[in-house]
């Protein structure tokens, strides 16, 4: 399954020379990184409603460093992500003691505060609402730059997923799981919840920062709309649809939803697309709480239930 | 204008903004108190309430303050359907699920409204538009005073409903002890539907008052007031209706003060800064107890 997905991703530019499709694939890869970042934080029991903040901070920091120092975006992406991680720790510090939806509120508000800062106090640097141009990841002057960009981002995506897989399986990952399931018991087992929650915040913000920087260096322009509520909600939708707390969930969710989204676009829908996404999200939460990844199991369960019912209805020979 | 009248002006604006927040926060608190459910999509009910008032106003030309009642009634129905179809199936499966479900509702309501009414900014003209009343050294729009009176009336009505009627008492019983309420024969699921509908009706009242006061609105206007209402109930204490009233007034005042001192762009951010500062000092909210 994994191998098939990898082959498909690597072969994509050879199958189609339609640059629209390649471009879409790039944005999808970035969305996968972003969704995986959110997923890791949710894995530790912390559901953020403001991940656009880290996405945007990574993007702005990377752009500003790249512009002022003239360094290649390939390096500044990680500087931007580092800035996002530091701010992630700061916001994590306010969140570690909070319950689920207090935390959701704080993160949501944080994205709005950052946006306000970017368009007011920081406007001389960030260009305010108008935004500023951002250096491209690979200069358009290079022949075949789109393909280089695609493969570079594909490599970063794979590296991110492997890193998250490793973290989830490591001692830290087990600690995240323990804290999510029962904080008191985790504490009794010698896990320091504050330390591990901050770690989850830092890693998640770092990866979200990478995603933001990649997207902005791919598009070549940055505006404060990056901090919008929509941008905070997308990764959540992807992860819930795919399967919360799993490695493959964010990937499957992002791919499935992107295909649905673009397919609906073909039919000329505008607002109705969002309504359909909302309905899909709610149906998933109610009927498929573990996401698309659990669909085969659920189908089996449903079949057995049905069988059980028909057996009960059959006359028991007498 | 001298300084005292500026301060009075800010106080008055804060009071008016506070009224809208109080209605929204009280509705949220009612739902949380009874169901222990967190509905992040509450602002969408405010928006739908505003649009229903707008539509009836365009069709009939009635006084918008009369339409308020129709709009509230419509939202009781919509709220009951949402509770039955969306929240009841996931009741007790965890707070995160409720938050995620609300995101789905936000998508559906915002864009559903945009499909029906378009996404342009709209407004409703109050029949008392342009009439001002002298209050001390200020001359304030009559609408603002009516809004404050209507808010007070709704809150008094709610108080009487909760204290005097059987359903109100059953709601309070369910909110205090759900299992106990079930044991004494209260149909808690019915109480859930009623509370959710009532909470949505209060949101519709907030939405109607919002548009009648001359504010423009579009399908995406609900998100920010809703989150502020959350901030208010976190400040004022979960499930506490007096807390929501005090919190709403404080929020209205703080916001308008900040808009005057720092510039209008800070209006939204300042409420979250207050929220974060309070939560750093007291992670359970200002008057919050064990719940949450």
Residue range B138-178, pLDDT digits in tens = 788 888 889 999 999 999 999 999 999 999 999 999 998 99
Interface test with B, best of A271, A277, A280 (most B CBs within 10 A): A271
Which among B175, B218, B219 has a CA at the least distance from the CA of B198? B175
So where are chain B's domains?
20-221
Place of tokens 């399954």: A1
Residues of A in contact with B112 (CB under 8 A): 271, 275
Query: B140 has which bridge partners?
Result: B133
In chain B, which among 140-159 make CB contacts under 8 A with chain A? Answer: none
Higher pLDDT, residue A199 or A1: A199
Q: Does the beta-carbon distance from B105 to A101 stay under 8 Å?
A: no
pLDDT, residue B39, reads 86
Residue in B106, B107, B268 closest to A112 by CB: B268
pLDDT, residue B250, reads 84
In chain B, which among 163-182 make CB contacts under 8 A with chain A? Answer: none
DSSP 3-state assignment of B132? strand
Q: Which residue of A has its CA nearest to B104?
A: A278
In chain A, which among 154-183 make CB contacts under 8 A with chain B? Answer: none
Using the CB atoms, write b or e for A124-161: b if 16+ within 10 Å. eebbeeebeebbbbbeeeeeeebbebbebbbebbeebb
pLDDT, residue A314, reads 59
On the 0-12 / 13-18 / 19+ scale of CB atoms within 10 A, B233 is buried
In chain B, which among 228-257 make CB contacts under 8 A with chain A? Answer: 230-231, 234
Q: pLDDT digit string (tens) for B202-238?
A: 999 999 998 888 888 999 888 888 888 888 888 877 7
Which of the four pLDDT bands, split at 50, 70 and 90, describes residue B291? very low
Q: Does B278 touch chain A (CB under 8 A)?
A: no
Q: Does A288 touch chain B (CB under 8 A)?
A: no
Q: What is the DSSP string of chain A?
A: -HHHHHHHHHHHHHH---HHHHHHHHHHHHHHHHHHHHHHHHHTT---S-THHHHHHHHHHHHHHHHHH---HHHHHHHHHHHHHHHHHHHHHHHTT--HHHHHHHHHHHHHHHHHHHHTTTHHHH-GGG-EE---SS-TTSTTHHHHHHHHHHHHHHHHHHHHHHHHHSHHHHHHHHHHH-HHHHHHTT--HHHHHHHHHHHHHHHHHHHHHHHHHHHSEE-GGGGSHHHHHHHHHHHHHH-TT-SHHHHHHHHHHHHHHHHHHHTT-SHHHHHHHHHHHHHHHHH-TT-GGGHHHHHHHHHHHHHHHHHHHS----
Q: How many CB atoms lie within 10 A of CB A24?
A: 15
Mean pLDDT of chain A: 89
pLDDT, residue B96, reads 85
Interface test with B, best of A87, A112, A225, A235 (most B CBs within 10 A): A112
Residues of A in contact with B93 (CB under 8 A): 289
Place of tokens 């995240």: A176
Q: What is the DSSP string of B2-56?
A: -HHHHHHHHHHHHHHHHHHHHHHHHHHHHHHHHH----TTHHHHHHHHHHHHHHH
Q: pLDDT digit string (tens) for A298-315?
A: 888 888 888 776 666 555
Integer angstrom CA distances of residue A298 from A292, A305, B64, B129: 9, 10, 50, 59
pLDDT, residue B285, reads 67
Q: pLDDT digit string (tens) for A2-60?
A: 778 888 777 777 777 777 888 899 999 999 999 999 999 999 888 899 999 999 999 99
**pTM of the predicted model, to two decimals?**
0.89
Q: Which residue of B has its CA nearest to A280?
A: B104
Q: What is the distance, to the nearest Å, from the Cα of residue A258 to the centroid of all Cα atoms in its chain?
A: 13
Q: How many residues does chain B have?
A: 292
Higher pLDDT, residue A305 or B137: A305
So where are chain A's domains?
16-229
Q: What does the alpha-carbon distance between residue A3 and residue B71 come to, in Å, rounded to a whole number?
A: 56
Which of the four pLDDT bands, split at 50, 70 and 90, describes residue B289? low
Strands (E), B57-176: 132-135, 138-141
pLDDT, residue A94, reads 85
- What average pLDDT score do residues A219-242 get? 93
Residue in B40, B271, B279 closest to A94 by CB: B279
In chain A, which among 202-231 make CB contacts under 8 A with chain B? Answer: 229
Distance from CA of A220 to the nearest CA of B (A): 27
Q: Please determine, for the modelled complex, whether the ipTM score is greater than 0.85.
A: yes
Distance from CA of B1 to the nearest CA of A (A): 27
pLDDT, residue B286, reads 67
Residues of B in contact with A273 (CB under 8 A): 111
Residue in A102, A240, A278 closest to B105 by CB: A278
Q: What does the alpha-carbon distance between residue A64 and residue A125 come to, in Å, rounded to a whole number?
A: 8
pLDDT, residue A141, reads 84
- What average pLDDT score do residues A86-94 get? 92
Q: What is the distance, to the nearest Å, from the Cα of residue B114 to the centroid of all Cα atoms in its chain?
A: 21
pLDDT, residue A310, reads 66
- What average pLDDT score do residues A234-239 get? 95
B287 pLDDT exceeds 70?
A: no
Q: What does the alpha-carbon distance between residue B287 and residue B292 come to, in Å, rounded to a whole number?
A: 12
Residues of B in contact with A275 (CB under 8 A): 107-108, 111-112, 115
Q: Which residue of A has its CA nearest to B279?
A: A94
Query: B141 has which bridge partners?
Result: B132
Q: pLDDT digit string (tens) for A147-195?
A: 889 999 999 999 999 999 999 999 999 999 998 888 888 889 888 988 9
Helix and strand numbers, DSSP H then E, in chain B:
12, 2
pLDDT, residue A317, reads 46
DSSP 3-state assignment of B238? coil
Q: Does A105 touch chain B (CB under 8 A)?
A: yes
């Amino acid at each position: 399954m994994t191998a098939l997905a990898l082959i498909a991703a690597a072969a994509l530019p050879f199958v189609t020379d339609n640059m629209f499709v390649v471009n879409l694939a790039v944005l999808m890869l970035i969305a996968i990184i972003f969704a995986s970042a959110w997923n890791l934080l949710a894995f530790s029991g912390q559901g953020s409603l403001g991940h656009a903040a880290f996405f945007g901070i990574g993007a702005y920091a990377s752009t500003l460093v790249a512009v002022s120092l003239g360094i290649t975006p390939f390096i500044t992406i990680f500087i931007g992500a580092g800035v996002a991680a530091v701010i992630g720790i700061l916001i994590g510090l306010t969140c570690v003691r909070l319950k689920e939806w207090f935390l959701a509120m704080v993160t949501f508000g944080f994205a709005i505060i950052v946006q306000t800062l970017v368009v007011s106090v920081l406007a001389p640097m960030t260009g305010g609402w108008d935004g500023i141009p951002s250096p491209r990841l690979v200069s358009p002057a290079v022949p075949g730059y789109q393909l280089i960009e695609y493969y570079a981002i594909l490599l970063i995506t794979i590296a991110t997923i492997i890193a998250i897989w490793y973290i989830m399986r490591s001692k830290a990952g087990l600690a995240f799981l323990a804290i999510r399931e029962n904080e008191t018991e985790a504490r009794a087992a010698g896990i320091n919840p504050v330390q591990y929650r901050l770690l989850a915040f830092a890693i998640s913000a770092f990866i979200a920062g990478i995603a933001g920087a990649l997207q902005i260096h791919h598009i070549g322009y940055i505006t404060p709309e990056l901090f919008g509520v929509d941008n905070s909600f997308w990764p959540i939708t992807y992860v819930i649809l795919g399967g919360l707390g799993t490695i493959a969930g964010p990937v499957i969710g992002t791919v499935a939803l992107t295909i649905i989204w673009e397919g609906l676009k073909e039919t000329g829908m505008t607002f109705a697309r969002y309504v359909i996404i909302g309905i899909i999200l709610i149906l998933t939460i109610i009927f498929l709480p573990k996401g698309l990844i659990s669909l085969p199991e659920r189908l089996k369960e449903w079949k057995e239930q049905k069988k059980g019912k028909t057996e009960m209805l059959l006359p028991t020979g007498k | 204008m001298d300084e005292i009248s500026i301060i009075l002006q800010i106080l008055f604006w804060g009071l008016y903004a506070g009224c809208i927040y109080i209605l929204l926060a009280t509705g949220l608190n009612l739902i949380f108190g009874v169901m222990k459910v967190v509905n992040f999509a509450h602002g969408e009910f405010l928006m739908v309430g505003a649009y229903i008032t707008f539509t009836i106003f365009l069709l009939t030309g009635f006084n918008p303050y009369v339409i308020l009642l129709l709009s509230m009634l419509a939202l009781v129905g919509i709220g009951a359907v949402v509770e039955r179809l969306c929240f009841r199936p996931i009741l007790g499966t965890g707070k995160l699920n409720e938050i995620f479900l609300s995101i789905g509702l936000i998508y559906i309501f915002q864009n559903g409204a945009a499909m029906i009414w378009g996404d342009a900014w709209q407004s409703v003209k109050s029949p008392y538009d342009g009439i001002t009343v002298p209050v001390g050294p200020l001359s304030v729009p009559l609408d603002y005073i009516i809004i404050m009176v209507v808010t007070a009336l709704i809150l008094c009505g709610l108080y009487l409903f909760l204290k005097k009627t059987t359903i109100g008492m059953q709601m309070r019983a369910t909110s205090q002890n759900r299992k106990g309420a079930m044991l004494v024969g209260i149909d808690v699921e019915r109480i859930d539907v009623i509370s959710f509908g009532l909470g949505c009706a209060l949101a519709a009242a907030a939405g109607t008052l919002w548009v009648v006061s001359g504010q423009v609105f579009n399908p995406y206007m609900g998100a920010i007031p809703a989150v502020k209402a959350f901030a208010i109930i976190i400040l004022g204490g979960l499930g506490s209706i007096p807390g929501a009233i005090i919190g709403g007034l404080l929020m209205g005042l703080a916001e308008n003060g900040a808009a005057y001192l720092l510039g209008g762009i800070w209006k939204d951010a300042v409420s979250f800064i207050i929220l974060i500062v309070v939560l750093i000092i007291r992670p359970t909210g200002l008057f919050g107890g064990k719940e949450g």
